[in-house]
Amino acid sequence: MSRSERLLNLLQVLRHHRRPVTGQALSAELGVSIRTLYRDIASLKAQGAVIEGEPGLGYVMKPGFMLPPLMFAAEELDALVLGMRLIAEQGDQSLAQGASRALDKIYAVLPAELRRELEASALLVGAGRKVPPQAVDADVLRTAIRIGHKLELSYRTPAGAVSERTVWPFALVYFDLTRVLMCWCELRGAFRNFRTDRILAAKLLSTRSPRSRQALLAQWRRTEYVAGHSILPEATSGVR
């Protein structure tokens, strides 16, 4: 196990214990020597962790300390790299650029040993079919969700008719070939889902949604449609 993984494991164990725990108990839980444990505690303190205690009395860490990204375990780093590469390949332009910048920032702060692991990562994203062309920039949809404002949509139904809707967006679901905007629809007075490739125009309104996205998502999860199912198990489920 690398030093960075040891420090991350020690951090997680200290967070788990609300009361002082002895060095012997910590070393047994982590599978390291007591000497290594004391050295790792000193390293965490040097990085800003407030760990109170001393040998023979036990240790407890005050909440609020966050390690920098260099403390990712190997499997956590793999998950991040693969996720960023998927977004860079399959996301819209703005999101793809954001993923690439985020990966660059992670790379910049990694220690040499983990930077080499990232460079040699064998988790690659294969070429696949692309999401259908979108008439509306997904940034508009994400912004509406983030700031909690209403959207005015012009939407083409599966039958080809065009419908005008004012909605309260609260989530955007990404599938392989489809994206779905989840909303409360003022026209229907109910939850409705809209495929983004059928949205012809979207205007961000200055009016805030009466309910927050957290409240809307919580209510949506409680509906009869969702009960017992994962979110939108099929790309066309509940989509108008």
Among 51-65, 156-170, 187-201, 210-224, the minimum mean pLDDT is found in 51-65
pLDDT digits (tens, 9 = 90+) for 88-145: 777 778 888 888 888 887 777 777 777 787 787 777 777 766 777 788 988 899 999 9
- Domain assignment of residue 132, yes or no: no
Domain assignment present for residue 230? The answer is: no
Number of structural domains the chain divides into: 3
Confidence grade of residue 202 (pLDDT, cut at 50, 70, 90): very high
Q: Are residues 149 and 193 in the same domain?
A: yes
Tell me whether residue 124 is in a domain. Answer: no
Run of H or E including 104: helix 93-109
Whether 129 is covered by a domain: the verdict is no
pTM of the model: 0.62
7 and 53 together in one domain: yes
Instruction: Give domain status of residue 125, yes or no.
Output: no
53 assigned to some structural domain: yes
Q: In this predicted structure, what is the pLDDT of residue 167?
A: 97
Q: Do 61 and 85 fall into the same domain?
A: no
62 within domain boundaries: yes
64 vs 158, higher pLDDT: 158
- Residues 101 and 150 grouped into a single domain: no
Torsions phi, psi of 156, nearest 5?
A: -95, 120
User: Do 208 and 173 lie in a common domain?
Assistant: yes
Residues 161, 214, single domain; the answer is yes
Q: Are residues 111 and 87 in the same domain?
A: yes
Pairing of strands 58-61, 51-54: antiparallel
Give domain status of residue 205, yes or no: yes
- 57 shares a domain with 87: no
* Domain of 204, in residue numbers: 138-221
Q: Are 113 and 70 in contact (CB under 8 A)?
A: no
